[in-house]
Structure 1
Amino acid sequence: MEYIVASCSDKIITERIRKVVEEDFHNEFLLQFPSSEKAILERLNFELPELVIINFSDEGLSSEYLRDQILQDSWLHNFGIVGLYDRKSDKEEAILEANKDINLLTLIDFSRIESHLGKSLRIINTNRQLIFQGFLADKLVNRMTGSFQIDNHDYLVSPVYGGLLAISLVRMGKIPAEDRHGVQMALSELILNSIEHGNCGISYSEKSDWMATGESIYELIAERCKEPKIASRKVTLNWDIDDELCKFTIRDEGVGFDVLSFREKLKSDARDRLHGRGIIMAQMVASKLLYNKTGNQVSLQIKLHKDVENAAPAGFSDEEVIRVKAGDTLMRSGEFGDCIYYISSGKYTVYHRGNPVGRITPADIFMGEMAFLLNNARSATVVADTPGQVIKIPRKSFIEVVKNYPQYSIFLSKILAQKLVRSNESVAAEHTASQSLHSDCDDTDPDVLEV
C-alpha cells in the first residue's frame, strides 16, 4: 500500500478526496491529511511518499511554504504532485506559473474532483515506474520506448502524461530540471490539440465562439463525444528515448489539417497565433517539430544534453566533487568500500571479472552503496563511458550528514529496497525465459538441431 500525503485543511474538500480514493482505490493507497505545515513536511521527509495532493486554494495551509520547502531539497522531494484549486478565487495560469519548478503533474478544479481526481491518480499509479523506479541498473541498453492510449474524455487530465514523461527525462539525466516544465507543457498542449481539433474536429472559430459564451472547452468536447464515432477515437502518444535523441510522436484519428496553410497563418494572423500556442510552445523546446502531410500526426524531437548534472542533495553540498573522463575507473573490484558516490551526471558500465554486467546512470542516484554499508570490499569495477560528475561521500561525512538529515538514511534504504526488488524481478524473468527455452528445444523435436 502506497502513501498519499494530502495538504488540505478544508473539511469538505478533504472528505471529497477521501471518498474518491476509498471508492476508486480500495486498499491501494493509505491517505494522510496532516494538520499543519510542519506535520506535512515531516511526512514528506520521513514517509517519502511518491504522490502528494496539494490544495493550492487552501486558506489554512500554505502551499507557498510547502513549495519553498520542496525546492530547498528537490533531490529528496521528487514525488509527483496532483494540485487542486478553486477557479472561482484563483487563476489556473497563475498557479501553474508559480509552481513550475516542482513536479506538478496536473491541476484540477474543485468542481471536477469526483470526475477527474481518480482518473489522474489511476494514470500516475499505472505508470509510476517512469518517475519513481528509474531504469533497471542491470540493463545494458540505455533506451526507453513506450506508448499511451488517451481517451477524449481524459482531456482535462491529459497534462499528467506529459508530466510523467518530462519528470522521467529529468530523473534519467536526459534534460536539466529547468527544462522540465517546458517539455511538459509542450507535450500537454499537443495532446490537447489532438483531442480538440483532431478527434473532435473543433475548429478554432468554433472554439472561440463556444468559449465566448462562458462555457469551457471540455463541455464542447463532451458534446461532440455524444456521437459514438467521435467518442471512440483515441490519441496515441509514443516515445523513443536513447542517449542522443528523444522522440515523441502524437497521432489522432481525425481527418487532419492543412499544415502548410496554418503555418503561414501563424506568421501573420494574431488570432491564429493565440489559438496555435500549442505548436508555438512545442517549437520552443523542440529541436525538430514535424507533421505528416495529413496533419494528424506530429513528431516532437529533442536533442539531449551531454552534460546534464543532477542537483546535489542539500546535505552533501560541501563534499568533494569529482569530474571524470570517458575511460576513467571510478571503483575497482577488491578495494575497500569506504565511500559512496552520488551520481550527478554521466554514464558508467559495471564490470565483474572483466565482463560488463550493468549500466549506471543518474537515475540510479548512488553507486557503491552495498560495499559502503556492509563495510566490505567492492565486488565490481565501475568505468565511465562518458564525461561525468559524481560527489564522493566518505563514511564519516555520511554519518554526520545523517545526523542532520536523518531522512536521508530512510531514502537510501528505500533505494536499496527498490534495487533488490528489481534484481529479484530480473532474475525471475531470466529463469522463466530459460525454462521456456528448454521447453521449446526438446531433443525429440525433429525441427530443432543441437549445435
Structure 2
Amino acid sequence: MKKILTATSNDVIITTVQNACKKYSAYFETDVFSDTEQIINYIDYQIPEIKVIDFSDEKVDAKRILAAIDGDPWLHYGGIIAVCQNARMISEIEEKKNPNIVSVQTVKEFTKHFNRLLRILWQNQQFLYTRGMQDVIGGQESGSFICGNDPMDIRFYTNFLVSYLYNTNRISDEDRFNLQMTLMELLTNALEHGNLEISYEDKSKWMNQGGDILQLIGARAAMPQFSNRRIYISYTIGKVKSAFKIKDDGNGFDWKTRLNKDTTTELHGRGISLSQSMVSDLHYNDKGNEVSFEITNIRNTVNNVPGMLKPFDTVSYKDKQVVCRQHEVSNDLYFIVSGRYAVYSGRKLISVLTPNDMFIGEMAFLLNDRRSATILAVGDCKLIRIPKQDFLSLIRRNPHYGIFLSKMLAQRLIRQTDKTLELANKINEITRVN
C-alpha cells in the first residue's frame, strides 16, 4: 500500500485525492494534514511515496516542507505534486527546477488531472519506492510511456524518469540536472515543433507580441488535425548505460539546420544544441520526428550522504580489505558511501552489498550480537563508520532514520523471500520431472 500525503486544508483538494484513492483502494491510501509541524513529522515517520502539497494554502508552510524534503536525501522518494493558486505561482515554482516535484498544477487543473496522474503512478509503481529493485529485476529495465499534447505531461514524465534514475544511484547530481534539461527540451520540441507544427518563426512572433506560449500550445492542441497526436517515450535502463527514444506523430522538422545554426543570441531554439552537449550519442532520424540518446550510469557507485551523517568518520578500503570478520565482537553501523562489498559465511559467498543496501552491520547493531558474516571490499570503497551510541542519539533526534532502517530491512527480507520461493519452485519442478 502506497501512502499519499495530502497537505492542505482545501476541501476540494482533499476530496479529489480521497475519491481517487477509493478508485485505487488496493494500492493507495491518503492521510490529510494542514498543520506544518504535523506534515513534516508525518513525512519523517511515514516517508510517503506521493506528497500532494498545497502551495496556495496559508495554513501550510509549503516552502518549509519542501526545504525539509530537499535537505534529507532519504526523503527523495516518490515525488511531490505541487498545487498552486494561479499561473504566476506555477512559474515561480517551475523556475526553481526542483527535481522532487513531478507536477505543478492549479487547483482547477489538479481536480481535473489527479485521477490521470494516479493512474500513471499505479501503472508504474516501480518508480515510487525503488531503491534496490534493480537487484530483483536483473539490472535492466525497458518500458514506454505515451504522452499527450500537454506541457504538464512533459514535466511529469521527465521528473518521473529522472527521479527514478537518481534514487536508484544511476546518475549523479550533475547528471540529474543534465538529464532533466535534455528530456524537457526534447519533449517540448516534439510537442511544439512536431505534433503541433509550431515553427520557429511562429513561436518567435507570438513571444515578441507578449503572448503566453502555453496559450498557443493549448489553442493548437485543440485543432482537429493535431488533437489526436501523441508523443512516445521509450527507455532501456541497463547496468552500464541507459537509452531513451522520443517519437512524435508530426511530419518532422529540419533538425540539421537547427544543429548547425549559432543560437547563442536567439530568444529560443537552443534546445537541441544544449541537449547535445549534455548527453551522449544524440541523433534524429531523417524525417526529424524521432530522437534518441544515451547516458552513462554510475550504478552502485555513490550514495547520497545525509547531512546528519557527515560529521562521522569516512573510512576508505582497498580491494579485498576486510571490513569486519564473522563472529567478531563489534556493533558499529556502517553507511555505504561507495563501492561493492562481498559477504561471506565461512568461505561461501552469500551476497554482494552496494550503496542500494545503505548499511553494513545492522544485524549486530540491532541484536547486540557478534558479526554474522565476513565482509570484504570489492575494489576501492568508502564507508561511514557510526558507533552504536552515536546512532542511537541520532535516532532520538531524527526518529524517521530508525523507520527508514526498518523499511530497508523489510525490503531485504522481501527480496530474500522472493529468491527463496523462486529456488523452491525450481526444486519442485526438478522433483516432478524426476
2:292 & 2:177 partners in 1: Cα distance?
A: 19
1:408 & 1:21 partners in 2: Cα distance?
A: 28
Q: Is the 8 A contact 2:130 2:167 kept in 1?
A: no
* Residue 365 of structure 2, aligned match among 353, 364, 372: 372
2:179 is aligned to: 183
1:139 & 1:366 partners in 2: Cα distance?
A: 18
Secondary structure of the 2:181 match is helix
Offset of residue 412 of structure 1 = 0.9
Offset of residue 12 of structure 1 = 3.6
Offset of residue 176 of structure 1 = 2.6
Q: Is the 8 A contact 1:76 1:411 kept in 2?
A: no
Offset of residue 217 of structure 1 = 4.8
In the superposition, relative to structure 1, how do residues 385 and 162 fare at CA in structure 2: closer, same or farther (>3 Å)? farther
Offset of residue 321 of structure 1 = 1.1
In the superposition, relative to structure 1, how do residues 167 and 34 fare at CA in structure 2: closer, same or farther (>3 Å)? same
1:448 is aligned to: none
* Residue 97 of structure 1, aligned match among 82, 95, 109: 95
Q: Is the 8 A contact 2:130 2:168 kept in 1?
A: no
1:413 is aligned to: 406
Q: Is the 8 A contact 1:4 1:49 kept in 2?
A: yes
1:275 counterpart letter in structure 2: G
Question: Structure 1 residue 333 and structure 2 residue 329: aligned?
Answer: no
2:376 is aligned to: 383
Q: Is the 8 A contact 1:119 1:157 kept in 2?
A: no
Secondary structure of the 2:82 match is strand
2:361 & 2:114 partners in 1: Cα distance?
A: 40
1:11 is aligned to: 11
1:258 is aligned to: 254
TM-score by length of 2: 0.85
1:110 is aligned to: 107
Q: Is the 8 A contact 1:282 1:300 kept in 2?
A: no
In the superposition, relative to structure 1, how do residues 11 and 263 fare at CA in structure 2: closer, same or farther (>3 Å)? same
In the superposition, relative to structure 1, how do residues 310 and 303 fare at CA in structure 2: closer, same or farther (>3 Å)? same
In the superposition, relative to structure 1, how do residues 401 and 325 fare at CA in structure 2: closer, same or farther (>3 Å)? same
1:202 & 1:351 partners in 2: Cα distance?
A: 61
Question: Structure 1 residue 275 and structure 2 residue 269: aligned?
Answer: yes
Q: Is the 8 A contact 1:173 1:361 kept in 2?
A: no
RMSD across aligned positions (CA): 3.3
Offset of residue 413 of structure 1 = 0.9
Question: Structure 1 residue 422 and structure 2 residue 393: aligned?
Answer: no
In the superposition, relative to structure 1, how do residues 169 and 306 fare at CA in structure 2: closer, same or farther (>3 Å)? closer
In the superposition, relative to structure 1, how do residues 369 and 154 fare at CA in structure 2: closer, same or farther (>3 Å)? farther
Q: Is the 8 A contact 1:5 1:53 kept in 2?
A: yes
2:335 counterpart letter in structure 1: Y
2:32 is aligned to: 33
2:313 counterpart letter in structure 1: E
2:24 & 2:299 partners in 1: Cα distance?
A: 41
1:195 & 1:12 partners in 2: Cα distance?
A: 31
Question: Structure 1 residue 361 and structure 2 residue 361: aligned?
Answer: no
Aligned pairs (5 A) from 1:215-294: 216-220=215-219, 222-224=221-223, 226=224, 231=228, 233-243=230-240, 245-267=241-263, 270=266, 274-277=268-271, 279-294=272-287
1:147 is aligned to: 143
Between the aligned residues of both structures, percent identity stands at 29
In the superposition, relative to structure 1, how do residues 50 and 337 fare at CA in structure 2: closer, same or farther (>3 Å)? farther
Q: Is the 8 A contact 1:339 1:394 kept in 2?
A: yes
In the superposition, relative to structure 1, how do residues 189 and 117 fare at CA in structure 2: closer, same or farther (>3 Å)? farther
Deviation sequence 1:371-427 (CA, Å, 0-9, x none): 332333444333333423211122222222222222211111111112212222233
2:198 & 2:425 partners in 1: Cα distance?
A: 49
Q: Is the 8 A contact 1:137 1:360 kept in 2?
A: no
Unpaired segments ≥5 residues, structure 1 = 444-451
Offset of residue 352 of structure 1 = 4.3
Aligned pairs (5 A) from 1:340-351: 340-351=333-344
2:418 & 2:193 partners in 1: Cα distance?
A: 43
Question: Structure 1 residue 296 and structure 2 residue 294: aligned?
Answer: no
Q: Is the 8 A contact 1:131 1:171 kept in 2?
A: no
Offset of residue 41 of structure 1 = 0.8
Q: Is the 8 A contact 1:176 1:310 kept in 2?
A: no
TM-score by length of 1: 0.82
Offset of residue 266 of structure 1 = 5.0
Secondary structure of the 2:33 match is coil
Q: Is the 8 A contact 1:137 1:364 kept in 2?
A: no
Offset of residue 53 of structure 1 = 1.0
2:348 & 2:157 partners in 1: Cα distance?
A: 38
Q: Is the 8 A contact 2:259 2:273 kept in 1?
A: no
Count of matched residue pairs: 431
2:282 & 2:422 partners in 1: Cα distance?
A: 38
Offset of residue 37 of structure 1 = 0.8
In the superposition, relative to structure 1, how do residues 343 and 191 fare at CA in structure 2: closer, same or farther (>3 Å)? same
1:368 & 1:217 partners in 2: Cα distance?
A: 57
1:122 is aligned to: 119
Secondary structure of the 2:157 match is helix
In the superposition, relative to structure 1, how do residues 77 and 111 fare at CA in structure 2: closer, same or farther (>3 Å)? same
Offset of residue 117 of structure 1 = 1.8
In the superposition, relative to structure 1, how do residues 290 and 423 fare at CA in structure 2: closer, same or farther (>3 Å)? same
Unpaired segments ≥5 residues, structure 2 = none
Offset of residue 155 of structure 1 = 4.8
